[in-house]
Amino acid sequence: MVAYSKTKVACLLIFFFSEHYVGLSNGKEEKSPTKQDVSHSRLRDRKNLENILQLSPDVHGKQKYSSSTLNIKAILDKLRAIYQSSIKPLEDVYRFTTLGKNTVTDGEIYAKPMILFLGPWSTGKSTMINYLVGLEDDAYKLRTGAEPTTSDFTVLMNGEEYRTMEGIVLAADHTRSFSALEKFGQGFLERLQGIEMPHRLLQKVTFIDTPGIIENRKQQERGYPFNEVSQWFIDRADLIFVVFDPTKLDVGTELEAIFQLLKGREGQIRLILNKADSVTPQELMRVYGALFWSLAPLINVTEPPRVFIGSFWANPIKPNTMTQLFEQEENSLLQDVHEVVRNGVANKIAFVRQHAIKVRIHALLVDKYVEVFKNKKSLFTDNEKILSHIIDHPEKYYIFQSVQSHANISKYDLPDPDIYKDFFHMEAINTLMPLNYHCSFFKGCMYDDLNAAITVDLPKLLQEVRKGQDVCTVGDKDCENS
Ligand SMILES: Nc1nc2c(ncn2[C@@H]2O[C@H](COP(=O)(O)OP(=O)(O)O)[C@@H](O)[C@H]2O)c(=O)[nH]1
Ligand SMILES: [Mg+2]
């Protein structure tokens, strides 16, 4: 179901453009371009970028920066302790990773917020990252071009010195957050690369550049599971920019598949109508409508996602385009990036809590399977046959239904029963114990610890972060005066 009507979109569109378009014709129209105007010999002023992202050294003095870094580290240490003591034990005893899920590594807990760029090829993803980091004249800038240039997933991150890193090296380093990517195989690791450099923005966030989506390309031609890899990044990204080019708005099967993967992460999605300087305002208005029109059936939320329109590169905005609108849009986008930095720790706590909820559902399901099997098996029956029947027909034993009602879980959060067929083929049921087996006099029950993490410890930690943010945050202007 499309939750917001196309008429609403059309109204929104007219309102949005009328403001800026009228602005343009109300005396703000710019002179037609001369040869000198369109030359891109000088780069755009980066003051707005430096101010909004608080990158200049004078905005956050050394002392402030280090004290709040310490604070974040203390929170993340607590998060790690909760994970290790209350979530991981149940994950281990119920072999959560056999479901094909990851555990949460230390690297992930301490990782910087991640901003992911997705979208068709040649829409300006790499150019945009180069612009944000200021790499235009840098030997380490990401490759860009009108043809499909990037076949790699590139992780751009902070480091003490400039260096590139092969995917195998990046994934083998367990102090980083990318070690789980090893599971996608050599084919993928060859298409993964890391770039490290000392940079103020990269001290705050990590950027992930992805190969562009090319419609009509078969998945296997990539030599690795592109969708699964994309899903891994989508699940972890704090902000997801889906970048479009107004001159080629082809929504095909691969883009549809990506939107399928984005389900549940709508809050993180930002659509970007980039290269808006390459079309006239009138064309841009039509394209904006067309973009919403084609994406509406793919996004199943009540609120349309935020769209940023502009020209997100270092070249000065071309005359005869909607300069004022593009500048405002760029500033709003930068604000969004800044919010991600501010909320990075809170997002991480939410991610671990979400993970804990999945572990809880898994533990309850396995407990139920074990209980049903224990009740049905006997000395006089073919227990193998009974087990197969339970695994093949969990609905006949009300396994999922009883977990759902007992634990008050939404049916949309329950996993597909089929994955438990694979699970019990890999894990012998008699090696798994019911939940009450994992209780001890001194330590209490593992399940209670997990529940306490979900309902008390993690929300409390989140509160601590929010309170801390009110008082003082990295480079926060209000902080400066307190
Ligand atoms: N006119 C215009 N061209 C752009 C803009 N951003 C990028 N480009 C050009 O678009 C082409 C593709 O950019 P690239 O970053 O390689 O796209 P990617 O494949 O999505 O990473 C390059 O030739 C860029 O110079 C923009 O804002 N305006
Ligand atoms: Mg690229």
By alpha-carbon position, which residue is closest to atom 6 of ligand 1?
124
- Whole-number pLDDT of residue 477: 43
Ligand nearest to the Cα of 148, by number? 1
Mean pLDDT in each 10-residue stretch from start to end of the chain (482 residues)? 47 49 38 40 86 74 43 91 97 92 87 94 94 90 77 92 94 87 92 94 95 68 86 92 88 81 88 93 90 80 85 86 90 95 89 93 96 89 90 94 86 87 93 94 94 97 80 42 36
- Whole-number pLDDT of residue 58: 53
- Whole-number pLDDT of residue 148: 65
The closest-lying atom of ligand 1 relative to the alpha carbon of residue 312 is 27
Taking the alpha carbons at both ends of the chain, their separation in whole angstroms is 49
Domain with CATH 3.40.50.300 in the chain: 6-30+111-315
Choosing from 38, 117, 127, 272 the residue with most ligand 1 atoms within 8 A of its CB, the one to mutate for a pocket test is: 127
Ligand nearest to the Cα of 150, by number? 2
The closest-lying atom of ligand 1 relative to the alpha carbon of residue 121 is 19
Residues that place a CB less than 5 A from ion ligand 2: 125-126, 150
Residues with beta carbon inside 6 Å of ligand 1? 121-127, 144-146, 149-150, 212, 274-275, 277-278, 311-313
Q: Assess if CATH 1.10.268.20 describes domain 60-110+346-482.
A: yes
- Whole-number pLDDT of residue 37: 40
- Whole-number pLDDT of residue 219: 55
By alpha-carbon position, which residue is closest to atom 8 of ligand 1?
124
The region that residue 115 occupies, defined by phi over 0 for left and psi between -120 and 50 for alpha, beta otherwise, is beta
Domain with CATH 1.10.268.20 in the chain: 60-110+346-482
Residues contacting residue 117 through CB under 8 Å, at least 6 positions apart: 125, 126, 128, 129, 207, 208, 209, 210, 241, 243
> What does the alpha-carbon distance between residue 204 and residue 153 come to, in Å, rounded to a whole number?
20
- Could you write out the three-class secondary structure of 333-358? HHHHHHHHHHHHHHHHHHHHHHHHHH
* Cα 247 to ligand 1 centroid, rounded to whole Å: 11
Q: Assess if CATH 2.102.10.10 describes domain 6-30+111-315.
A: no
